Amino acid sequence: MLRLLQENKALIETRSGRSLQVTAVSARDPKKARDLPLDGVRWVDSAEALAEDDAVDVVVELIGGEAGVALTLVENSLKAGKPVVTANKALVAHHGAKLDAMADTAGVTLSYEAAVAGGIPIIKLLREGLAANSVTRVYGILNGTCNYILTAMRETGNDFESVLKEAQGLGYAEADPTFDINGIDAAHKLAILASLAFGSRIDFPALAIEGIRHVSALDIAFADTLGYRIKLLGYAERQGDRLDQRVFPCMVAKAAPIASVEGVFNAVVAEGNQVGTVMIEGPGAGAGPTASAVVADLIDLARGARLATFGLGARDLVHLQPLDPGRRRGAFYLRLTVVDRPGVIADVSAILRDQVISMESMLQRGRAPEETVQVVLTTHETESAALSRAVAKIATLDCMIEPPRILPIAEF
């Protein structure tokens, strides 16, 4: 961000209508070598002190983490009446409601464009660009690491573990990739998007989260055959006074625009009752995109913008109860690892029929009597609860070698 402020200084000042000055900086280790334009910038030992610093008009928090110094700094800055710009998705996802109330009381803006989807201005799109719409759904590819891994698995046919190692080598996955591949990072972002889209109090603990660790090369190959791509989606839909918000790997039809979003790119789709469907796609991470978003927030502040954190006054946010997971409706993909013997399909079909689930397609590649084969089924739309009951029964069949694999099929 410091580099961007220097590189595009003239342009930023003309667009802001004023000069932006970096007056003070703090970091855990001030001695660490940094290739940054820090001449004449005052170093502060304790980041929290910036909140009380009279020379500071706006605090930019790029520390990360949902607690500790980041939280104290942001809280104290808002209390002191200073606007805050942050790139910290965990902080906003976990403490958004409280921080919003503090910003509201102090009459200052809490900006967080860089917290979701990197350089893509999706916060501005939802909070301002689509403000005239009642949003019905918002979903997207919110984690570049997972999308890179799924893309590489499809392109190479390799399995998850080997592709993850390669991604780590290339710098597309962290040494400890847990937050990314378990879906937590995407979930932080989705919680923020859902609150913005539906004007609801942010409710991170209500999210259902599943990562990509169990997506196999087999599933990816079958998806391709059936006309789908597997994507890790963040998905939020309002159903009356209920909110369905979750992160999960799922099948997306190849023709859907979001299916073509590959590699480390992110994309978000918003459906509004007036505008229809809008998709925005771009780099979801990296120093340049993040700085682009942070500085856009600073320019907005310099231009005099003053916006409610989630687009509504803190008191106007509604509380939406989570949708009962069993009530979700949709089509599903089932992969069964079974012993190839007569009657298997008949047994499975009967179980589905008993749960009033209608099959859309069935695929068995090759024949191998009394050996292990893969049988893949897709269903028409059904209720999650019915599918779960059917799968529990299918799992008990004699011929089953492994637990059934289930992936939802998205309908866009």
Q: What does the binding site for a second copy look like in residue numbers (CB under 8 A)?
A: 4, 7-8, 11-12, 14-15, 17, 113, 119-121, 124-125, 128-134, 199, 257, 260-261, 272-283, 286, 288-289, 291-296, 298-300, 303-308, 311-313, 316
In the structure encoding, which two tokens stand for residue 240, read together?
């009356």
In sequence order, what are the residues at sequence separation of 6 or more whose Cβ sits closer than 8 angstroms to the Cβ of residue 149? 160, 163, 164, 167, 172, 173, 181, 212
233: burial class by Cβ within 10 Å (0-12, 13-18, 19+)?
buried
Cβ(186)–Cβ(143) below 8 Å: yes
Residue closer to a second copy by CB (options 110, 387) is 110
Query: What is the end-to-end Cα distance of the chain in Å, rounded?
Result: 37
Residue closer to a second copy by CB (options 134, 156) is 134
Residue 5: CB minimum distance to a second copy, A: 8
Residue 296: CB minimum distance to a second copy, A: 5
Compute CA 325 distance to the chain's CA centroid, rounded to the nearest angstrom. Answer: 19
Residue closer to a second copy by CB (options 36, 275) is 275
Please list the residues that pair with 334 across neighbouring strands: 377, 406
Give how far Cα 235 sits from Cα of 186, 210, 243, 270, 316, Å.
10, 12, 10, 10, 23
Residue closer to a second copy by CB (options 113, 210) is 113
DSSP type of residue 370: T
Q: Pick the closest to residue 60 from 33, 31, 15, 25 (CA basis).
A: 25
Residue 382: how many CA atoms within 13 Å on its side-chain side? 24
Residue 148: CB minimum distance to a second copy, A: 15
Residue 169: CB minimum distance to a second copy, A: 22
Residue closer to a second copy by CB (options 69, 279) is 279
Q: Tell me, yes or no, if 189 is annotated catalytic.
A: yes
Residue 278: CB minimum distance to a second copy, A: 4
Residue of 189, 231, 254, 393 with catalytic role: 189
β strands within 142-285, DSSP E: 208-209, 228-239, 242-253, 265-272, 276-283
386: burial class by Cβ within 10 Å (0-12, 13-18, 19+)?
middle
Give how far Cα 33 sits from Cα of 5, 40, 196, 289, Å.
19, 16, 39, 23
Residue closer to a second copy by CB (options 96, 283) is 283
In the structure encoding, which two tokens stand for residue 276, read together?
């229809």
| Active site positions, annotated | 189
